[in-house]
Structure 1
Amino acid sequence: MNDTEVREVEVEVEPGVRLHLRHRAASRSGSTPFLLVHGLSSNARLWDEVAGALAAAGHPSWAVDLRGHGESDAPESGYDTGTAAADLAAVITALGLHRPVVAGQSWGGNVVVRLAAKHPELPGAIGLVDGGWIDLHAAFPDWESCERALRPQDIDGRPAAAMRQWLASGHPDWSDTAREATLANMRIRADDTVERRLTIPHHLEILRSMWDGPPGPDLPLVAVPALLLPALGPQDDRADPVRRAAAALPDATVRWYPGGDHDLHAQHPDMIAADLLTLVAR
């Protein structure tokens, strides 16, 4: 993928709050558009290689930086699943997207489920990439335990070179594009050290909203086809939540990725794009 083929777009989702998107045009008009949604403390660039494959297949895409992430504004409030879903609805409306396929990874999958439940008229189908069924209540006995386990590390001030080395050793099967996109979760300061884009307090606000509002009640309200792409196999001992989510959704298909990374869109972009394209026909 060539970054010159990406157009930067901004959409105002509420007064004074603008979200940044990376738009990939397609070779033909009238084809089904895609809206791509990252996970917690991630950014739109992680979708670049998926977007390139979608464009090659003739479909335009818009990958969004949610508030406080990537290049989007970081207001004082709105760090919760419901607001993120409302922001997506505002983006779809502002861009005039007709029944897009909306795909979300990790927490982004939970956000997409909330969007489809609360705004059934907007998406044409949804793709859930190792997310959309994340229920923190089922994983932890109380909020305090959840917060202790999932509180992010304070990495501000670490050398960018060390972070690149860590990404290279931790994800040897990822492309340079995917690793650099992951590094973009942070800003690189003038002294070549990094700082988080999403602050730890805002990160914890989102986690708390996931604790308070799991996707279970939303799943039966999703009226469009859903494709679940879990980073595990059907025999994995963590597969039951995926099966329960698929059973709760009125129209669901599961495509298992045994041994996959949580960031499947970074690890297997062509495969993820091919799976998401099956939603166009449905």
Structure 2
Amino acid sequence: MIFPSGSFSSSGSSGSAGPAGPSGASWTERVLVRDGVRLSCRDWGGSGPDALLLHGLAGHSGEWDGLARLLRDAGHRVVALDQRGHGAGERHPADVSRAAYVADVVAVVEELGLVRPLLVGQSLGGHTALLTAAAHPGLPRALVLVEAGPGGAEPGLPEQIGGWLRAWPVPFPSREAAVSYLGNGKRAVGEGWADGLEERDGGLWPRFEPDVMERSLDELTRRDFWAEWAAVDCPALVVLGEEGIISGDEYAEMARIQPRLHGVSLPGVGHDVHLERPEVLGGLILELPH
């Protein structure tokens, strides 16, 4: 379902070759260090317009592989970031404030020479993209929020999420066991999450620490971010799953504040829209003006 506007119905870098995808597409790892914190990117290459993809909490840059190939093959320069505390990035950063996540995005844009990139973020990555657009209005050409919004203060959220992460039956004995558990009946979701695991000590383990994930959510327990949403001055697209976490009321308020907002809700889809429907998400992004 498509909703019309206003409604809801650096220290340096290094590179190494990444694996080839099913279509033969490959990416290159780019490593940056900002304030002593390692940041790793999957650089898919391609020619502009530029796009920077930001995963959600406890996620990893590989979640975007399907979308990255699609956008790159359509002519975009695409980079997906492993954010601090996640994936191939620094596992134990001292600072996991919202401002630190935003500063990392700015550093990646500057270090890799991205020009007014499209910022695409899912969940907490979408929140980071939103805050980046608000704090640096000249940086993005457009904003795509996938299952993300300004939200409200959510006391107890870190403990709730941390409890879920600590309940994972790790190490997973096999990839299939991980896909089954993490997908909860949705194969594409399970595959995406399983791709973020690392093999060690006879099993498959997450590439994040639950306590770091909890601290990353700390500011969301204390306040909302509607003022930042009001400060966004670039075109914005919100893509929601019908079974996701963003309510109709939250979207309606987002559209009231930003009348140019365009929203899409995908039926039968949950929070991991980018894993369940990468081709649909890619089509919507490619319709945005360059």
Tell me the alpha carbon deviations over residues 235-278 of structure 1, each in whole angstroms, 9 at most, x when there is no partner. Answer: x9921101212222363111111221211111001111111122
TM-score (norm 1): 0.86
Q: Alignment RMSD, CA only?
A: 2.2
Q: Which deviates more, 88-97 or 126-135? A: 126-135
Counterpart position of 1:159: 172
Map of 1:207 onto structure 2: 217
Query: After superposition, where does 1:216-255 map in structure 2 within 5 Å?
Result: 216-232=226-242, 238-249=247-258, 251-255=260-264
Q: Give the alignment partner of residue 89 of structure 1, picking from 96, 99, 106.
A: 106
The residue type equivalent to 2:197 in the other structure is M
Residue 186 of structure 2 corresponds to: 171
Q: Which residue of 1 aligns with 2:119?
A: 102
Q: Which runs of 5 or more structure 2 residues have no equivalent in the other structure?
A: 1-20
After superposition, the C-alpha distances for 1:96-126 in whole angstroms (9 at most, x for unaligned) are: 1111100000011111110001111111111
Q: Distance in 2 between matches of 1:133 and 1:264?
A: 18
Unaligned ranges ≥5, structure 1: none
Rounded to whole Å, the distance in 2 between the matches of 1:271 and 1:237 is 19
Question: Against the structure 1 CA distance between its residues 237 and 105, is the aligned structure 2 distance closer, same or farther, given a 3 Å change threshold?
Answer: closer
Question: In 2, are the aligned partners of 1:230 and 1:242 still within 8 Å (CA)?
Answer: no
Q: 1:126-137 maps to which residues of 2 (within 5 A)?
A: 126-135=143-152, 137=153
Which stretch shows the higher mean deviation, 145-154 or 86-95?
A: 145-154
Taking the aligned partners of 1:146 and 1:106, their CA distance within structure 2 comes to 14
Check the 8 A contact 1:102/1:127 in 2, yes or no.
Answer: yes
Return the offset for 1:148: 4.2
Range that drifts further, 47-56 or 240-249: 240-249
Percent of pairs identical after alignment? 27
Aligned-pair CA distance for 1:232: 1.9
Q: Distance in 2 between matches of 1:168 and 1:205?
A: 25
1:58 aligns with 2:75: yes
What is the Cα deviation at residue 213 of structure 1?
4.3
Aligned counterpart, 1:17:
37
Q: Which has the higher helix share?
A: 1
Relative to structure 1, is the Cα distance of residues 250 and 78 closer, same or farther in structure 2, using a 3 angstrom cutoff?
farther
The Cα shift of 1:170 comes to 1.9
Q: Which residue of 1 aligns with 2:10?
A: none
Q: Are the counterparts in 2 of residues 156 and 196 from structure 1 also a CA contact under 8 Å?
A: no
**Structure 2 contact 41–80 (Cα < 8 Å) conserved:** yes
SS of the residue aligned with 2:99?
Answer: helix
- Count residues in correspondence: 264
How far, CA to CA, are the matches of 1:40 and 1:251 in structure 2? 28
Q: Which consecutive aligned stretches of 4+ in structure 1 deviate over 6 angstroms post-superposition?
A: none
What is the letter of the counterpart of residue 256 of structure 1? Answer: S
State which of 157, 160, 165 in structure 2 corresponds to 1:149: 160
Are the structure 2 counterparts of residues 20 and 237 from structure 1 closer, same or farther at C-alpha, using a change threshold of 3 Å?
closer
**Residue 148 of structure 2 contacts residue 246 of structure 2 at CA under 8 Å; is this kept in 1?**
no
Q: What letter is aligned with 2:268?
A: G
Who is 1:5 aligned against? 26
- SS of the counterpart of 2:108? helix
**Structure 2: distance between partners of 1:88 and 1:213:** 22
Determine if the alignment matches structure 1 residue 262 to structure 2 residue 271.
yes
> Deviation of residue 168 (structure 1)?
5.6
| CA–CA distance in structure 1, aligned partners of residues 242 and 183 of structure 2 | 22
| Partner of residue 202, structure 2 | 191
Query: What TM-score comes out, normalization by structure 2 length?
Result: 0.83
Question: 1:186/1:258 Cα in 2 relative to 1: closer, same or farther (>3 Å)?
Answer: same
Q: What SS does the corresponding residue of 1:243 show, helix, strand or coil?
A: helix
